[in-house]
Amino acid sequence: MASNKGVVSRRDFLRVGGFGLAGLAGALGLRGLAQDNGAPTSTPHAAHEATAGGVTGDYTPASQPVMDHGGMGTVGQVDHAANEFDPHEILTDFDYGELTEEGGRAVRTWRLVAIDREFEIAPGVHFPGWVYGSQTSAASRRLGRLVGQCPGPTLRCVEGERLRVEFVNASSHPHTIHFHGIHSAVMDGIPGVGPGMIQPGGRFTYEFNARPFGCHLYHCHAVPLKRHIHKGLYGAFIIDPDPATHSGEEAAAARTRNHTYDESQAVNEMVMVLNGFDTNFDGENEVYAANTVAFAYGMERPIPIRRDQPQRLYLINVTEFDPINSIHLHANFFDYYDHGTTLRPTLTTVDTIMQCQAQRGILEFTFEGFEPGLYMFHAHQTELAELGWMGFFDVK
Ligand code: CU
Ligand code: CU
């Protein structure tokens, strides 16, 4: 059964530990063990014997080769081509939908589909998910057909526009789309309130105005909610501020946040949706990530950063089962805009923030004047970092 392919228990992961480098590598070895022997095997030394050069042979089952990877990350590669989406593409992909005008008003339309599909979240670990896809995402445009992705496409618009989301449920389960934002109850995507439980084969068009500006999210709100969110039905939803409604410094800040203004082009903008995956359905996550794939921005594929460019990170936590998630930036500090609904930071000069589920915000920072090199970022709950939520900026 496909869904068993990547079954690894949380304890298997924790047993191997080792900051970032051994968690999944060990887990893959242990997966072999668990399958061979039918029971988890104790590996008490693993956590201590993992080295920066890879892992020792101590806990590697005889049937598994010792895989020296020379650094932090995972052993082996996720097949991004088979997944059809790539965390590096998702990082900078903003789905603007289709912009038209009706009676003098800007109308932005997205066509979103929910589908069932399996994807690889760590080398050899496949997850049977439910996901959203959009005709106007980078992945769909690249492949010339609709691609379901996790997280869903980052929907981006401008404050004041009329938004139209034409939703088709092509999954085998009922789903909804619930947007965070201000709208009427009938557009809330909640069963029993307003179009919730769109049945398989069904469709509904959600329509509302873009407000307030900020860094938001959308997700399925079908019941059981836990299961529907955790399966992968969520994405970022960004409303750019309209500079015309602000003045002075705030108007200037709004111009850098609004993708239709030249001032925004100077900023390197990124999106990370923090998520976790319960691969054995025990109500706990075995894999954590920013944008789905564990260690996606690890040493082998760090995020390239130009040090002369201001950086902006839209960070959204959708992690199910854990009460909080966090981000810590190494060797640097940032300003933070909680929910992105202000044009002045709500926290200044911090290097760590935490987010409960659905909490989100914007980080602004720069590496100007820094020595080139790899600068780490990760959840500061060590366990989450070890299980995949860790990466690097490659500052050049
Ligand atoms: Cu759902
Ligand atoms: Cu929500």
Q: Which ligand has the nearest atom to the CA of 196? A: 1
In the chain, the largest separation of any two C-alpha atoms, in whole Å, equals 70
As to burial, measured by CB atoms within 10 angstroms (0-12 exposed, 13-18 middle, 19+ buried), residue 256 is buried
pLDDT-flagged residues of the chain (< 50): 1-8, 11-71
Read off φ and ψ for residue 253, nearest 5 degrees: -65, -40
Which pLDDT value is given to residue 73?
66
pLDDT digits (tens, 9 = 90+) for 302-321: 999 999 999 999 999 999 99
Pairing of strands 352-356, 324-329: antiparallel
What was the pLDDT predicted at 191? 87
Spacing, Cα 255 to ligand 1 middle (Å): 36
How confident is the model at residue 53, as a pLDDT? 32
Return the SS3 of 371: coil
Q: Are 371 and 379 in contact (CB under 8 A)?
A: no
Is beta strand 125-134 parallel, antiparallel or unpaired with respect to 105-122? antiparallel
Cα 331 from Cα 153, distance rounded (Å): 31
Query: Could you say which ligand is closest to the alpha carbon of residue 221?
Result: 1
For residue 18, the model assigns a pLDDT of: 35
- How many angstroms separate the alpha carbon of residue 112 from the centre of ligand 1? 13
Burial of 321: CB neighbours in 10 Å, binned 0-12, 13-18, 19+: middle
**Can you give 160-216 as a three-state secondary structure string?**
CCEEEEEEEECCCCCECCEECCCCCHHHCCECCCECCCECCCCEEEEEEECCCCEEE
The 10s digit of each residue's pLDDT in 186-242 is 999 988 888 998 999 999 999 999 999 999 999 999 999 988 999 999 999 999 999
Q: What is the pLDDT of residue 38?
A: 32
* All domains in the chain, ordered by first residue: 81-266 (2.60.40.420), 274-395 (2.60.40.420)
Q: Which residues of 277-311 are buried (b: 16+ CB within 10 A; e: fewer)?
A: bbbbeeebbbbbbbbbbbbbbbbebbbebeeeeeb
CA of 231 to the centre of ligand 1 (A): 8
CB-side neighbour CA atoms (13 Å) of 75: 21
- pLDDT computed for residue 72 by the predictor: 59
Q: Are 221 and 178 in contact (CB under 8 A)?
A: yes
Q: What pLDDT sits at residue 75?
A: 78
The one-letter amino acid code at 348 reads: T
Q: How many whole angstroms from 219 Cα to the centroid of ligand 2?
A: 6
Question: What pLDDT, on a 0 to 100 scale, did the predictor assign at position 28?
Answer: 36
Which ligand has the minimum distance to the alpha carbon of residue 233?
1
